[in-house]
Amino acid sequence: MDLNADLGEGFGIWQLGDDAALLDLITSANVACGFHAGDASTMRRVCEGAAARGVAVGAQVGYRDLAGFGRRHIAYAFAELRDEVTYQLGALDAFCRLFRTRVRYLKPHGALYHAAACDEAQAAALVAAAGDYDDQLPLLCPPGSVLAQLAAGAGLRVVAEGFADRGYLPNGSLVPRTAPGALVTDPEEVAARAVRMAVERTVVAVDGSVVPCPVESICLHGDTPGAVRCAELVRAALIDAGVTLTPFA
């Protein structure tokens, strides 16, 4: 099982999360590429730290929306979104190359992640950008989503992702961040959910129902309160359950 986290989400003097501590615990890093968060110096620092630890670097691409942290939906023309995703891929890959690594996968962030799960136009723009840039580049996304279907149809590798620290609806989608139950912040509960995803391939939804969750990668949000403690417990619990942690890419 892969264990990923969103990193590099600071900007200038503003810092969010403990990137260095999380890099010691995860196997893949979703690195902000400067549009929803992050900047050149942050990207360089995270890429250097990931390379030193053998952590796979993925481009976490988002809407051009620093003020909204990429969590506000933006209506894009297909070509504009495709090109902005390509721009972000190239920026992060440049820093990866400084440390003899490369961008190993693509994951959309925030509102783009949710839009691409059901919006064919935005999903198609992500698939086009990824395929044009590197037709061997995997896409990390929700299982069964529109993005997953279009990527598979284009011959790209699809890696299904689950969220140990987010609430799920009975239909398998995430609880909106504005709704009760959106975040799971108790580290013990997060660890138990991660083990269930890895071993049983299921997750318990907010109504108590058991939902299939066939994933290859489990995400922890770097900006969740107590993110490092959650990651420590999740890693230990997965290993105790006999789960081998390794990057999917």
pLDDT of 77-114, one tens digit each?
Answer: 999 999 999 999 999 999 999 999 999 999 999 999 99
Mean pLDDT by groups of 10 residues along the chain of 249 residues: 96 87 98 97 98 98 96 97 98 98 97 96 98 98 97 98 95 90 92 97 96 96 84 97 96
DSSP 155-178: T--EEEEEETTB-B-TTSSBPPTT
| pLDDT score, position 224 | 75
Mean predicted lDDT score pLDDT of the chain:
96
Instruction: List the alpha helices (DSSP H) in 73-166.
Output: 78-98, 110-116, 120-133, 146-153
| pLDDT score, position 12 | 85
Quote the radius of gyration of the chain (alpha carbons, Å).
Answer: 17
| pLDDT score, position 221 | 86
pLDDT digits (tens, 9 = 90+) for 181-201: 999 989 999 999 999 999 999
Has this prediction a pTM greater than 0.85? yes
Instruction: Find all residues with CB under 8 Å of 246, minimum gap 6, and list them.
Output: 1, 2, 27
